[in-house]
Amino acid sequence: MNQRPQGIDLAARSRARRRALQALYAWQLSGSHMNAVIDQFRHEQDMEVADLEYFEDLLHGVEHNVDALDASLRPHIDREVAQIDPIERAALRLAAYELKFRPDVPYRVIINEAIEVTKRFGADHGHSYVNGVLDKLAAELRVVEKRG
């Protein structure tokens, strides 16, 4: 039986992921430095209801590991990373970061959250693409967890 990790507000984490997806989208399109994007989101978005520490960890994690994340996605995608819809690309990078560097977060949570944010912000069937890619990536990065 899975239990909620102590001290973690799961709703605030979910909101942090939604905001992080939006911030990654802005970062990908603007080419701005991530700190500038974070500052903009702190100023413009309702961040007090999100887990700000997790939000920043996700964004800096993707920024610092984007090449490794893209490399881990490449075997599971049907086109170049740059050709993926920007919302889907942001969702894939965000989830790839969590799958690779946040073993404290169950892979099912990561995939489900990525699907939900893609349904909310992405193209009509983008969530199906994201689901397929992340399921393959999770099978590679979370072998033991997927078996159990």
Domain ranges of the chain: 10-143
Q: Could you read off the pLDDT of 17-69 as tens digits, one per residue?
A: 999 999 999 999 998 899 999 988 877 766 667 788 999 999 999 999 999 99
What fold does the segment set 10-143 form as a domain?
N-utilizing Substance Protein B Homolog; Chain A (1.10.940)
- Average model confidence (pLDDT) for the chain? 90
pTM for the model: 0.90
Please give the pLDDT value at position 42: 79
Q: Show the DSSP H helices in the chain as ranges.
A: 10-30, 34-44, 52-73, 86-101, 107-121, 126-141, 143-147
How far apart (Å, rounded) are the C-alpha atoms in residues 114 and 110?
A: 6
The tokens of 100 are what? 């690779």
The whole-number average pLDDT for the span 116-120 is 94
Please give the pLDDT value at position 40: 87
